[in-house]
Amino acid sequence: MQRFEKARIVITGGTGGIGLATAERLVAEGADVLVTGRDPERLAGVGARAGITAVANDAADPDAADALRDAVEVTFGGTVDGLFLNAGLGAFQPLDAVDATELDRQYRVNVRGPLLQLRALSPLLADGASVLLNTSVLNDLGMPGSAVYAATKGAVRSAMNVLANELGARGIRVNAISPGPIDTGFMAATGLAPDEVDGFVAQVVPRVPLGRMGRPEEVAAAAAFLPSNDASYVTGSELVVSGGIS
């Protein structure tokens, strides 16, 4: 089934994990996809795949939003049918270890990044296009040590509600995907040591009703639903893919 035949879709943070799995799913369904990332080796590998254009872009850099718009104009001729603002990062620490530097670091990428990217790209969105944001079940879980990360993702969810109203007049739908514990390597990227990651997984998995970590392709399947015509009357919604932990 080719739900995205000839669709032009942008995925930020698309060289690994959920972003790459979603890019692969959309390409398999007929889309042309532009992904962003920061790692040159990953960009080269992903960009060599059929149907995917890979562009170096850092969501933490406010000037990179306009650079992304320029790259999209060159790649897609100035029109985009779908946008998945997926780039993000996280770190976990108790309240007494939180400082301004860490707050700023996570807010730059997780909140400021997607808002500036959407502002830059919104003139290129076709009427009836779809915007997808990446939130997190940590919005609701109250997990110790996640105050900063959960706050950034809660901010994204709140922004989604506003954006769905602002862009609705153009028929543009704005939704969010809310992953639970997914085996993407995200925890290692938070700065935890390997034994700490193993300990985190050992604590979390027993709380998941399905009894396991999720796979990136399982989130990608849900992420591909929201921009499709199958979700043509869905906007301002957050779809949770968590194995039931939330």
Q: Which residues are catalytic?
A: 149
Give per-residue burial for 110-134: e unless 16+ CB within 10 Å, then b: bbbbbbbbbebbbebbbeebbbbbb
CB-CB neighbours of 221 under 10 Å: 14
What lies within 8 Å, CB to CB, of 91 at 6+ separation is 102, 105, 106, 148, 149, 190, 191
Whole-angstrom distance, CA of residue 132 vs CA of residue 28: 19
| Strand 80-85 with 8-12, pairing | parallel
Whole-angstrom distance, CA of residue 203 vs CA of residue 200: 5
Any bridge partners for residue 241, and if so which?
Answer: 179
Whole-angstrom distance, CA of residue 52 vs CA of residue 37: 13
Helices then strands, each counted (H, E), the chain: 10, 7
